[in-house]
Structure formats: C-alpha cells, structure tokens
C-alpha cells in the first residue's frame, strides 16, 4: 500500500459576496499517495485553483474554508489538518513541505529582483547558510532545471528570459527546499508545444530524483495521460470522478469525464470527422440545479438526477457521482 500524504475530506470553501456567501467548493474529497501524481481536471471555473489555494493557505481575504479537513502528513510522519493552521504555521510549511508552481511566471516573478535572489529567498527563510553557499546552491538548481549558462543567468531579471526559462525558474524556486508535496497549477498552459513537452519531461525526472508527490492541475486531458498516476475530475465545485489514470480513460464512469475525453483532438481523425463538444456551459455557482449539477448538459439525464448524487464506489479503486453504474456510448450530434 502506498503511503497517503494528502487526504482531502469533504472540503467546502465559501466566498463573501454582496448578497451573502457563495459556496465555491462542495464536499471535495480525494487522496494523494507518496511519490505519485494526482491530476485535478476540469473546465475553467470548476474549482481546481481554489482547491490548490486552500491547500497552500492562500485564499483571498473574502474566502474561507467552511468545512472539511485537509490532512497532510509531513516528512516526520506528523499529520496535520491544513484547514486549521494559522498563517505563521503555513509559512513554516511552505517550501520544505508544501510548494506551488503558479500558472503564469511573468506575473509570479518580481521584475525588480534577479532570479537568483528570488530562488535564494526560500533558502534564506528555511535553510541557514552563508551567502556564498546560497548562491552556489541556486546555481546548482538552475542547472538541475536545465537552464544553460546558469552561473551567468543567476544575475538576470525575469524580463531577460524566455517564457520557457521563466517557467524553469519557477520550478527551481518551488523545489529548492525539496518539498514533500508540489502543487503545479497549469504550469505549461502559456507555453508552446515543444517547450511544454520539455517542462513535463523535467517535472517527471525531478519527481523521480526527489521522491515528491505532485498535485497537477490542468484542463488538458493529453497532459493527464502523460503525467498522472491518478485523476480526480471536478465539475462546478465538486469531484465527480476519481480513479487511476488508466481506468479514467478506459472505464469512464461519469458522463462529464466521458464528454471531456470525447472532445480531445486526436491525430489521425478522419477528414470531416467532427469533435464532440459538451453542450451548454458550467452553471453559475449561485444557480446550481438541484441534484446532479451536470444533469442539464448530460445526454443520459433522468428525472431521478434531480436528487443529490454522492461520490460512490463503482469499483475497488474507482468512485463516481452518477446514478448509472455503466455508461452507454455518448451520442454523436448530427
């Protein structure tokens, strides 16, 4: 059995609004094993980034965790509920235990400081060492993430680097303290396909070398197939399916996941063959339908879908929030 280092149980997050609170996450549950990669998948607005910010203690001032537990086991075997931690406790965890790569490096890096200073700040906060040793370690990290001429790049500013190199700087910053859990929030979205492949290869190698667990947030099912061991699919603020990656692709149990897979562009698609989009849009969090939130867009919806549907076990390692035990083939629009 793989050791579980992150156990998210019934997480609820609410945001203050003019007309009261809006619930952004509804009873989100999933687990992540040591050394494994869990992909958190879904359309924009499904709650992926809110989940990651909750884990890092970085919710905005109008957001709060209103229920559930975020159980994290550190490298010393101590399990703590992240939902109850004070900010000073989070500051001690960020870097050595938890770290995050943000989606857009240009807005995440400070343009007024060199990349060496920004990477080295994590060491300054958590690892006592001399300035010379810290600089040496930063250069080693730049070499580890395959930035050429690292000894000269260390004194450059973010605007002097390409997009791919800035993303490598973000990775170096995130892993310099060798965290137990790395959260990657769509780290390759702004990159071209070639650079994206290089970054994904780099992350896999670093995970193998450092033994990290990765929570990989994406909407790209192709990236999921390449990176993930396990997958949790989110829709309208809730997890609707969770399983190992091969079962997600080969034995889909939720119509939303089926729709995501059907809409992937594939090489070799016959001339004139259409992509199969999911009809409709994600409902606003202030106007969710009763019962299954996906029912208005689902080709298999029934009257009983207007009752609450819980995430339930469909197989030993497969859970889905659907009344159907098996899915028929998805209808192709005319």
Domain extent listing, the chain: 98-178
Residue stretches of the chain with pLDDT short of 70:
1, 105-106, 190, 266-274, 331-334
pLDDT tens readout for residues 88-146: 899 889 988 999 988 776 678 899 999 999 999 888 888 888 999 999 999 998 998 88
Q: Determine the pLDDT at residue 171.
A: 87
CA distance 287 to 173: 40
- Where on the phi/psi map is residue 316: left (φ > 0), alpha (ψ -120 to 50), or beta? alpha
Q: Determine the pLDDT at residue 240.
A: 96
Q: Determine the pLDDT at residue 276.
A: 76
pLDDT tens readout for residues 272-285: 566 778 888 888 88
**Contact yes or no for 42/101 (Cβ under 8 A):** no
Q: How far is CA 259 from the centre of its chain?
A: 20
Count of CB atoms situated within 10 Å of the CB of 172: 25
| DSSP three-state, residue 242 | strand
Q: Say what the pTM is.
A: 0.90
């Amino acid at each position: 059995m793989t050791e579980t280092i992150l156990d998210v149980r019934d997480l609820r997050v609410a945001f203050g609004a003019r007309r009261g609170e809006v619930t952004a996450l509804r009873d989100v549950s999933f687990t992540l094993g040591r050394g494994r990669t869990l992909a958190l998948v879904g359309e924009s607005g499904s709650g992926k980034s809110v989940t990651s910010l909750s884990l890092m203690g970085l919710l905005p001032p109008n957001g709060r965790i209103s229920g559930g537990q975020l159980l994290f086991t550190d490298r010393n075997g101590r399990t703590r509920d992240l939902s109850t931690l004070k900010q000073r406790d989070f500051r001690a965890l960020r870097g050595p235990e938890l770290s995050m790569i943000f989606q857009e490096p240009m807005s995440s890096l400070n343009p007024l400081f060199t990349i060496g200073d920004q990477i080295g700040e994590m060491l300054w906060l958590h690892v006592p060492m001399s300035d010379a040793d810290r600089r040496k370690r930063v250069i080693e990290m730049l070499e580890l993430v395959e930035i050429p001429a690292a000894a000269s790049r260390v004194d450059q500013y973010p605007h002097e680097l390409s997009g791919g190199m800035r993303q490598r700087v973000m990775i170096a910053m995130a892993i310099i303290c060798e965290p137990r859990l790395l959260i990657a929030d769509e780290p390759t979205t702004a990159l071209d396909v070639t650079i994206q492949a290089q970054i994904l290869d780099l992350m896999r190698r670093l995970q193998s070398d450092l033994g990290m667990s990765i929570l990989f947030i994406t909407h790209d099912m192709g990236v999921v197939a390449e990176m993930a061991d396990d997958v949790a699919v989110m829709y309208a603020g809730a997890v609707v399916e969770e399983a190992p990656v091969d079962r997600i692709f080969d034995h889909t149990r939720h119509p939303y996941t089926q729709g995501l897979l059907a809409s992937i562009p594939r090489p070799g698609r016959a001339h004139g063959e259409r992509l199969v989009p999911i009809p409709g849009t994600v409902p606003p969090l202030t106007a969710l339908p009763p019962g299954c939130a996906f029912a208005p867009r689902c080709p298999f919806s029934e009257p009983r879908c207007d009752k609450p549907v819980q995430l339930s076990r469909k197989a030993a390692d497969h859970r889905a929030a659907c009344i159907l035990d098996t899915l028929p083939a998805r209808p192709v629009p005319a």
